[in-house]
Amino acid sequence: MENAYVLEISDSKFKDLFLCFCGYAQCEPLHSFGPAARPNYLIHYIMDGKGIYQTGEHKFCLEAGEGFLIEPDVLTYYQADKAQPWSYLWVGFSGRHAGEYLEDLGLNSRQLTFRSSQGKELKHLILQMMKCQDDSVTSQYRLQSLLYGFFEILSRDVSAQEEMESMENFYVDRAISYIRNHYSSDIKVTDIANHLCVNRSYLYKLFKNSLQMSPQEFLTKFRISRAKELLSITKLSIENVALSCGYQDALVFSKAFKKNTGCVPTLYRKEHQNMIQKNLKENQSLLEELNAEQTFQKLHQKQR
């Protein structure tokens, strides 16, 4: 490692969260650290270049704008890239509530990496920490303030991500509501996108991320599910079932229905209505047996 600058803290009066050390460095090609375990938490943020981070069976290829968390007493290994070795900054910290604060940032043993667009501010903050070279009370409070500032800066991207996910869910929910209210009309994915004032490609991305299917797939499945209900409980013609579910052409409807269910609408209706009749007969038989049993019990009681 070259051009490394490190500040180590020998003691702290704070208990909930406190700084142990910090620094920044430009690494040489293939420079590595570990395998090793630390007694405290450690966050690295990559300013430039790239490298790998490995813990247990998990291996992450990371680059500028990304960072990684090292947890206490966990064996880890990380190495700079040969062609584009990384430069990074780091903050080591501990405290009885350190894990809780990391959870607020979405970081834990299940999520060890992150992205942040606040690289310049993070580096400026580390440089401010490096200026606190004495053990005075003022320096201790200053370092504590800067450590909380480090968490605050990282939280901005977490909040932005949460807001983005919330907005994405909002669009998906509105799209589903629109489909439920208009599936019987001849609506297309373009109509849904226009209703939400978004383009089709963005709507496609939202559905794939949230539901693992495209808007067209969801619309088709929704229509087919409604068609199955109508075929099972009504005597509507296939043409009218198709129209009720947004299909103007009964042949197109039949092809879509078979593709999704494995059989044509007429066969589906026959099988399910036969099943319904069978269940009705079984229920009727059970009811008759129950009535007969109750009648027998009443007669038996009168004889007593």
- pLDDT tens-place string over residues 69-124: 999 999 999 999 999 999 999 999 999 999 999 988 888 888 888 888 889 999 99
Using the predicted structure, report yes or no on whether residue 160 has a pLDDT greater than 70: no
Same domain, 134 and 198: no
CB 48 within 8 A of CB 68: no
Residue 173 lies in a domain: no
Predicted local distance difference test score (pLDDT) of residue 285: 54
Q: Is residue 171 part of a domain?
A: no
CATH code of the domain in which 261 resides? 1.10.10.60
192 and 266 assigned to the same domain: yes
What is the residue range of 236's domain? 183-304
Question: Which residues make beta-bridge pairs with 226?
Answer: none
Is 285 within the bounds of a domain? yes
Tokens representing 257 are 């229905």
81: Cβ contacts below 8 Å, ≥ 6 apart: 29, 30, 49, 50, 51, 52
CATH number for the domain harbouring residue 88: 2.60.120.280
User: pLDDT above 70 covers what percent of the chain?
Assistant: 83
Do 94 and 190 share a structural domain?
no
What CA–CA distance (Å, rounded) separates 229 from 231?
6
Domains identified in the chain, total number: 2
69/157 same-domain check? yes
Look at residue 56 and tell me whether its pLDDT is greater than 90.
Answer: no
- % of the chain with per-residue pLDDT over 90: 52
Are 226 and 297 members of one domain? Answer: yes
* For residue 295, pLDDT beyond 70: no
- Distance in angstroms (rounded) separating the CA atoms of residues 120 and 32: 24
List Cβ<8 Å contacts ≥24 apart for 104-110.
Answer: 104/151, 104/155, 104/158, 105/151, 105/154, 105/155, 105/158, 106/158, 106/161, 107/43, 107/69, 109/71
E-strand spans in the chain?
A: 2-8, 18-26, 32-36, 41-48, 50-55, 58-63, 66-70, 76-80, 87-94, 113-115
Indicate the SS3 state at residue 54.
strand
Could you tell me if 293 and 241 lie in one domain? yes
Same domain, 156 and 203: no
Place 291 in a pLDDT band, splitting at 50, 70 and 90.
low
**Does some domain include residue 168?**
no
Q: Is residue 166 a part of any domain in this protein?
A: no
| 99 part of a folded domain | yes
Tell me, yes or no, whether 290 and 253 share the same domain: yes
Residues 130 and 236 in one domain: no
Q: What integer pLDDT is reported at residue 10 of this predicted model? A: 58
154 and 224: one domain?
no
Q: Is residue 176 part of a domain?
A: no
Q: What is the mean pLDDT of the chain?
A: 85
Residue-level pLDDT at 133: 79
Question: Is residue 252 located within the same domain as residue 293?
Answer: yes
Residues 7 and 156 both lie in one domain: yes
Q: Which residue did the predictor score with more confidence, 9 or 129?
A: 129
Q: Which of 126, 161, 196 is the last residue of a domain?
A: 161
Q: Which two tokens stand for residue 217?
A: 């797939």
